């Protein structure tokens, strides 16, 4: 399978394509490619048996597609752990490097990397790391935008996107932070949280990709 096809499977997974149908517009927005390119790739993945598609609803990963996506994400997240723990990268710097490394890592190298890292279960962005041949199934978590004012939450996972990660670093938000929802702006406005007696304003777009655990 080409790296490009692998990236599409991973994006479908990250958009929730094991629980719901993902439409082409969502993929276009995430990847920044043309609608024609997405349509062509969906046809290829369907023909090769990695996805299921319903007209006017979208696509989702089948078991074969989820297994392939899980293998790729395992490589990606193990490399992210390695880069943070061993080479001094910060959590917002590792995504692009791992994107390259995941496509050139053999199963043997991946297994050795996992053993070297003592089999980590979570990546720097809070995502689960499946074992060899494991099927990735993230815990169902609500996003920050689904919370109510005065609710106390712990940040458990964020989407693995460089722009989002850079933004979170700039405002001082990280995994396992405990925050209280201070205010919620109307009509998809900003969400203000209080962390360690400091108020932080988070855009609605970013908050939509921050997954939390209610405390």
User: Is 121 part of a structural domain of the chain?
Assistant: no
pTM for the model stands at 0.87
29: domain CATH number is 1.10.10.10
pLDDT for 139 beyond 90 = no
pLDDT confidence of residue 202: 97
- Measured in degrees and rounded to the nearest 5, phi and psi for residue 152 equal -100, 130
Gap between the Cα atoms of 191 and 66, Å rounded: 33
User: Is 158 part of a structural domain of the chain?
Assistant: yes
Query: How many domains is the chain built from?
Result: 2
User: Is 78 part of a structural domain of the chain?
Assistant: no
User: Is 135 part of a structural domain of the chain?
Assistant: no
pLDDT confidence of residue 214: 93
Domain boundary among 38, 61, 84: 61
Tokens coding 83: 């880069």
Structural domain of residue 200, as residue ranges? 142-214
What secondary structure, in 3-state letters, does the chain show? CCHHHHHHHHHHHHCCCCCCCECHHHHHHHHCCCHHHHHHHHHHHHHCCCEEEECCCEEEECHHHHHHHHHHHHHHHHHHHHHHHHHCCCCCCHHHHHHHHHHHCCHHHHHHHHHHCCCCCECCCCCECCCCCCCCCCCCCEEHHHCCCCCEEEEEEECCCHHHHHHHHHHCCCCCCEEEEEEECCCCCCEEEEECCEEEEECHHHHCCEEEEEC
pLDDT confidence of residue 201: 96
Reported as a single tens digit per residue, the pLDDT across 65-108 is 999 999 999 999 999 999 999 999 999 999 999 999 999 999 99
User: Is 134 part of a structural domain of the chain?
Assistant: no
Gap between the Cα atoms of 110 and 137, Å rounded: 19
Reported as a single tens digit per residue, the pLDDT across 17-33 is 888 899 999 899 888 89
pLDDT for 34 beyond 90 = yes
Mean pLDDT of the chain: 92
pLDDT for 135 beyond 90 = no
pLDDT confidence of residue 27: 92
pLDDT confidence of residue 138: 82
Reported as a single tens digit per residue, the pLDDT across 154-196 is 999 999 888 999 999 999 999 999 999 999 998 889 999 999 9
Q: What is the dihedral of CA 200, 161, 128, 100, to 10 degrees?
A: -150
Question: Mean pLDDT across the stretch 46-63?
Answer: 92
Confidence of residue 148 (pLDDT cuts 50, 70, 90): very high
Please tell me which residue, 57 or 157, carries the higher pLDDT value: 157
Tokens coding 137: 């199934």
Domain boundary among 61, 76, 94: 61
User: Is 29 part of a structural domain of the chain?
Assistant: yes
171: domain CATH number is 2.30.30.90
pLDDT for 14 beyond 90 = no
User: Is 166 part of a structural domain of the chain?
Assistant: yes
pLDDT confidence of residue 16: 84
User: Is 84 part of a structural domain of the chain?
Assistant: no
Domain boundary among 12, 42, 61: 61
Cα 83 to Cα 8, 92, 213: the distances in Å are 24, 11, 27
pLDDT confidence of residue 55: 83
Tokens coding 47: 């023909």
């Amino acid at each position: 399978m080409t790296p490009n096809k692998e990236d599409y499977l991973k994006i479908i997974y990250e958009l929730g394509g094991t629980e719901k149908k993902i439409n082409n517009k969502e993929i276009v927005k995430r990847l920044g490619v043309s609608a024609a390119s997405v349509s062509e790739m969906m046809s290829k993945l369907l023909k090769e048996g990695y996805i299921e598609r319903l007209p006017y609803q979208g696509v989702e990963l089948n078991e074969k597609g989820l297994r392939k996506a899980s293998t790729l994400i395992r490589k990606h997240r193990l490399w992210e752990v390695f880069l943070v723990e061993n080479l001094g990268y910060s959590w917002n710097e590792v995504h692009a490097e791992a994107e390259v490394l995941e496509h050139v890592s053999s199963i043997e190298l991946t297994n050795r990397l996992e053993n070297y890292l003592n089999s980590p279960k979570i990546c720097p962005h809070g995502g689960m790391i499946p074992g060899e041949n494991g099927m990735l199934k993230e815990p169902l978590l609500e996003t920050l935008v689904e919370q109510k004012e005065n609710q106390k939450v712990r940040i458990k996972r964020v989407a693995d996107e460089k722009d989002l990660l850079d933004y979170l670093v700039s405002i001082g938000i990280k995994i396992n932070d405990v925050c209280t929802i201070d205010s919620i702006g109307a009509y998809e406005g900003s969400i203000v949280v209080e962390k360690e007696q400091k108020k932080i304003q988070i855009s609605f777009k970013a908050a939509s990709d921050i997954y939390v655990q209610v405390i």
